[in-house]
Amino acid sequence: MDEYQDIHDLIRNKLWSLIHDPAEKAWYIKEHEVLARKNIIELDLPGELAGLKRERSLWIVDGVASSVDRQLLGLFYLFDLGSRIRSPEDKYVFKNIFDTDIEENIPLDNEVIKNVNEEVNQALRSLLKNVYEALNKYGFEQKYEDFLRDLLSLHILYFYHELLWILNLGPNPVADTRVPTHTVFDHNSATATVSNWFTSKGEFRGYMVRIDLGGIHKYISNSRKLRDLWVSSYIASGLIWMALSPLIFILGPDIVLTPSLRMNPVYGYTLNTWLNKLFRNIGLDADLRNWMKKYLNKGSKSDRIYRLGLKYIQDLKNPPDYSIQPGIFTLALPPRKIVEDVINLFRELHNKYRDKFFLTGYP
């Protein structure tokens, strides 16, 4: 069976997936690949990510992750009908996929987008820099440090990139202005998920796994009072999350198909806890809320999005007070050998650095 060479390749392919289409793509369509490479350099991500587009497997993954409407566009161009589908030159329209009569007109103001992107990149770069410095101070062997660096970069880009774009009042960055029904972040996260299923030669492998907490409905329905209902739902949600979070950490958040972990408050709280442990052990500021507030859009303090964003950041300090995760998870897992390899790698890492590893017990 042809599989990825190792887990390092898979993590880097998923990193590429999360950044291969820059958020500002709709404003710079012809230059978007150049901008993606520029973002890779600015964020100090592995240099080889800039050249991964040439690999056939990633070209296939990108296509498979595209929405059906974008796939159909390919047929229009194949039969020379594509010239009839044009994007407006001064703006684009973002459509509500459930009711296309609802739309948002977004001006193609390159200067605004440039400023938003610079703010977001500056924020991401500062956090990634702290992570890299923290890992370096732990004194891991180079192969372990490189892997943890890529893995934590994956988690940070997955959760914080979209969140920072929204909190800095960036307009909806559509993936394709001709079919403006979903954002670049929708497409990039889908590409990262699909990456789990393809080998380095573009062959389909891997598994879709459905995990169901057995008897959960009967357990919750036995609640006799409202507080019983709250507690039973909360316990069930917590149990399945605690069971899966180690796997999510070592393979990446993109393995979860449903429920999505994008801006998920439980995942956000868990990620903040992981990073706080990493920073606190070497004396860095462990309060990520201070970092987030520093990079919020400073000119919009009266704006509703700013206020909501500030509250969201404050809430990341503690787990939610209510049940969020359902009792059923659907996972997109890579081939079995990769899962076994990464589990063995973490066991080896934990055994070698038991006294200093910031994620005691994982996996």
Quickly list H helices, the chain.
7-19, 32-42, 56-65, 68-78, 110-138, 142-167, 184-195, 216-221, 226-251, 265-280, 288-294, 304-315, 336-352
**Tens of pLDDT along 285-331?**
656 666 766 766 555 554 666 677 777 777 887 888 888 888 889 99
Q: Are 360 and 350 in contact (CB under 8 A)?
A: yes
Nearest CA among 160, 133, 148, 355 for reference residue 262:
160
pLDDT per residue as tens digits for the range 211-262: 987 776 676 666 666 666 677 788 888 888 988 999 999 999 999 999 999 9
Lowest-confidence range among 19-23, 92-96, 339-343? 92-96
What is the mean pLDDT of the segment spanning 14-37?
A: 80
- Residue percentage of the chain with pLDDT more than 90: 16
Residue 102: phi and psi, rounded to 5, are -90, 120
3 pLDDT above the threshold of 50: no
Q: What span, in angstroms and rounded, lies between the C-alpha atoms of 285 and 233?
A: 34
Residue 153 has pLDDT above 90, yes or no: yes
**pLDDT tens-digit profile of 100-152?**
777 777 666 677 778 888 888 888 988 898 888 888 888 888 888 889 999 99
Whole-structure pTM value: 0.85
Instruction: Please compute Rg for the chain using Cα positions.
Output: 21
Query: When comparing pLDDT for 79 and 352, which is higher?
Result: 352
198 DSSP 8-state letter: B
3-state secondary structure 213-269: CCCHHHHHHCCCCHHHHHHHHHHHHHHHHHHHHHHHHHHCHHHEEECCCCCCHHHHH
Specify the 3-state DSSP secondary structure of 183.
Answer: strand
**With bands split at pLDDT 50, 70 and 90, how would you rate the model's confidence at 71?**
low
The phi, psi pair for 60, rounded to 5°, reads: -65, -45
Is pLDDT above 90 for 159?
yes
